[in-house]
Structure 1
């Protein structure tokens, strides 16, 4: 207990000391606070004066900085104005476009105190300067001497110019336009400038493209007079194919280099560009058509081949020259329409040429060779497979049998032929050609020469249409037509034997007298007549050569003549040799059967 009392007393003493210390600290702090109040009241006026001076100094500094910025900006605008008015240089294009971008930015954000209208006019001036450079570069790439020679060589803009044009066009496409910047003062003027530049591009590239193709087009038309018709038509089709290639290339180039590539403007620009190409096509085709019409019988296959080739290009032409350009004028379709009319005319005219050649000619000299019309017909028929589609299409348009020009009924009495019947109508037409040609023998008034003439011409037809390798027209001739041609050859050969050798065989015929025998006088006359006729045959064959271009067929005919004449002569000689019809039989029997055979074979 004593210990606890002692501790309590010690705690009370400590507590009293703590209170005394606290009172002293409070007294000191109170005194310090009063002094601080007095100090604050003393320095407050000085602090207020110092804040005002600091604010004024800051304002002065800001003003001076602003003045410096305005002065430097005015100097920069003056320098940019001089740069813009001077115009862009190809090697400093980036600096020029950067200056225009800054001017556009100052207008958009109103960051400049420079008059916005003057700035807009300066931007428009810069845009015009850039389009002038654009036009100049395009003009350089669309001038000079066009590529020549028979091989097609496109002439696009050189890569050195493209390297400058591409970034230039990329910037021109960023310039403000009414559609994208309706409030920009320069937008309408810039749009008009770019539109004119794009039209100028189309005019220059269109004229250059025509210039590159024009010389070759004239060359193709000139060559059409010297090359065969099928080749001439193929060459013209290749030229048109090259024209379409140029148009397609120019469309891709226009899409890349047009300052206004919008879907509403690009087709119009492309239409301007390809108008010279369409005009060139029409004029070149007109020249070719005039050549064909001047001599249709000579240039029939030029018309057919051209029509056939151009027909295959119709869909490509429509896609390139119409759909992409939004045009309605279809020069190729109009050209095909005109060519179709020429082709339709060629079929009845060819049959008329055959009939005219087969008509008898008063006072004409005797000819047993291959007629010009026969050679022409073979060439005609053998060339048809090269233009088969065009021929069949035109014949369907003309109508089955209408190539007869009203001279008879249609070949087919069945339903009217249409699409899918191309092979049938082609067979009908070829059959009519062959049947018309087989009448050419009527032009000969002398039967013997007419028989040789017919045999030679029918054999020529048969050999070159049915027997030659590789087969050409035979693939198109129907089986009845082929059989008819073989039959015509056999008939012509029989007619030749009849006209040339029947009199010989008749001379050897027995004419018994009243006692049933043959008188000496008759025998003498028969032998004399036989050898006189044989001499006439020999003389005639020296003039009228039989199958001169077909050695194998000629030998076959010779064998058949020998088998026809020599055995009959041999039997007749054997039968009457011992009858002593003459003291000098050799006077009448001028040659032995073996010698006659040799002489006959010499004819072939």
Structure 2
């Protein structure tokens, strides 16, 4: 047992010694490594100190190179506009004909873009170049404007509107190619103008050019129609009222309507949507001024002959208003401008309503004499003819009366309502429009009859003559209503006419009252009581027997007086000049008034002359025949 253990210890001891020996070697190696690391660290510091400056200089050189490259690029950019300007200057100064319109506009686009870039750079060194490019862009714009002008002037020969209207032809318009060229030029000029910021903010230079050239075309083309309106308004007959279409105003407004809408069709493809209305107004301004001047001339002539030419004023209001509505519907513009041009005539048309009623009073009161035969006066058919003619102008009159207000036409024009622009609703002649006119016509007729009545009382002697005069004028009024388009409008006037007719009949019958008084005998009951009524004719002989001689003499005198007065009244009746319906109507009034009284008187006392006819001139049948002959 002892020997094996010793051997084991010896072996382990030897391994320990080996480990110690290796440990010593590791320590020695570690020292050597530490010594080497120390030397390496020292060497690294030396290298870093040597290489550091070289590395730093290299970075600085790289930064410098980058900056130099940027400076070179900036110099190139600065030189680029100058080089570009020289190139574009040659193109722009050559003009669009030599360079070609497409290339010319491309050059303007490049110039405009370069100018925009330079302005954004804010480099002081670029200010001179910016100024030069501004000048170059102005030159380019002017050349484009010249081309724009030339294209328009090729199509600026004036036309004769009447030719196109009468033949129902479309007015000439710019071709599609021309519109395309003008649109492209306008777009470039508008952009360049915005860059230069020198244009009138209301419109671009091309819009001004378009308005001037095409405006001259419109004005010159329409001037013959304007002259025709003034010429046809001059009166050749001072006693005849104006008749519809005797003046050229309707043709003139048709020409304006057609030419303005044609011009709007030209404008839309050339200019942007927000410019359409502005350019149209600019283009039409000159011709609208001429139109307004023409209407002022017409208004002056209308006011000089208002009672006859008021219908021309109504026609102008009618056709001009319809024209303004049509153009406004087609273009969305010019309604107010056209309405302003019409304003003087519309005011005259409004004032005419009160003027015409006042004129009736004036003319009636100026009648120093009236017909001695009771016939109607010319004033009555004159007034009624005027009302008949007014029916043809219900549309404008409806608008005018609506703006005045119901009944305000009896006031002076100064107190009327302020002017308002007519609307389509005010031209809608419905129940309201017809009712307003009916009220006006009624006021007119009432004014006429009242003044004729008052004048006849002052001038004519005798109520019967006054009654015949009034009845004749009423008959003319009634007949002219029934025989015209006034009838359906003035249907409600019947009761008022009937009141006047009864008044006239009452005046006429006043002279027959004297004859009726004669026939109103006294019932003689002093001797015997009055016999009861049996419905049969009384016994004339029996009645006369009861009367005294004096009473019989009074009866005889009554018959004689009645005969004389009756013959005078019949003769006077036949001497009057009566309208057919007046003669018939008054004869019936007399017959119903006198016949019954005479029949009663004759039945009672005709035996007073025992059929000899010395006192009783007419029997019942004879008197009735005479009365019937009055009609």
| TM-score, normalising length: structure 2 | 0.59
Which of 495, 498, 504 aligns to 1:483? It is: 495
Q: Flag the 1:396–1:118 CA change in 2: closer, same or farther, 3 A.
A: closer
Cα distance, 1:507 vs. partner?
A: 5.2
Alpha-carbon contact 1:426-1:476 (below 8 Å) kept: no
Shift of 1:530: 3.7
Offset, 1:451: 0.6
Q: Paired residue for 2:357, among 311, 331, 351?
A: 351
Q: Is the 8 A contact 1:177 1:188 kept in 2?
A: no
CA distance in 1, matches of 2:163, 2:187: 42
Deviation at 1:139, TM superposition (A): 2.7
- Paired position in structure 2 for 1:246: 259
Alignment check: 8 A CA contact 2:253 2:319 kept: no
Kept after mapping to 2: 8 A contact 1:310/1:336: yes
Q: Which of residues 261, 277, 299 in structure 2 aligns to 1:289?
A: 299
The residue aligned with 2:561 is: 526
| C-alpha spacing 1:149/1:503, structure 2 compared with 1 (3 Å) | farther
Query: Helix, strand or coil for the counterpart of 2:214?
Result: helix
Match of 1:202 among 189, 201, 211: 211
Cα distance in structure 1, aligned partners of 2:95 and 2:501? 91
CA contact (8 A) 1:304 1:391 kept: yes
Q: Provide, for residues 439-476 of structure 1, a one-character-per-residue CA deviation record: whole Å limited to 9, x for no partner.
A: 212322222221111111123333433x4465x36536
User: Shift in Å at residue 594 of structure 1?
Assistant: 5.3
Structure 1 residue 278 corresponds to structure 2 residue 288: yes
Provide the C-alpha distance between the structure 1 equivalents of 2:399 and 2:133, rounded to a whole number of angstroms. Answer: 67
User: 1:213 and 2:227 equivalent?
Assistant: no
Cα distance in structure 1, aligned partners of 2:109 and 2:316:
60
Pick closer, same or farther for the CA change 1:393–1:172 going to 2, 3 Å. Answer: closer
Give the SS at the match of 1:368: coil
For 2:579, what is the secondary structure of its paired residue?
coil
Cα deviation for residue 503 of structure 1 reads 4.2
In structure 1, distance between residues paired with 2:164 and 2:590: 56
- Go from structure 1 to structure 2 and tell me whether the alpha carbon gap of 1:235 and 1:367 turns closer, same or farther (over 3 Å shift): farther
Match status 1:448 vs 2:464: yes
Contact 2:313/2:349 (8 A) holds in 1: yes
CA distance in 1, matches of 2:441, 2:187: 67
Indicate the residue corresponding to 1:300 in structure 2: 310
Distance 1:96 1:248 in 2: 33
Matched, 1:462 2:478: yes
- The one of 136, 149, 162 equivalent to 1:148 is 162
Deviation digits for residues 141-170 of structure 1, max 9, x if unmatched?
2225523369467987757x7265245436
What's 1:4 paired with?
Answer: none
Q: Offset at 1:279?
A: 0.3
- Show CA shifts across 1:318-363 (max 9, x none): 6778x658xxx94434345544543443343333223234437445
CA–CA distance in structure 1, aligned partners of residues 134 and 409 of structure 2 = 74
Equivalent-residue separation in structure 2 for 1:267 and 1:454 (angstroms) = 61
Give the gaps of 5 or more residues in structure 1. 1-76, 89-94, 111-116, 407-418
Query: What is the TM-score of this pair, normalised by structure 1?
Result: 0.61
1:231 matched residue in structure 2: 244
- Tell me, in whole angstroms, the C-alpha distance in 1 between the residues paired with 2:105 and 2:337: 46
Report the Cα distance in structure 2 between the residues aligned to 1:332 and 1:384, rounded to whole angstroms. Answer: 24
2:608 equivalent to 1:579? yes
Change (3 A) 1:219 1:566: farther
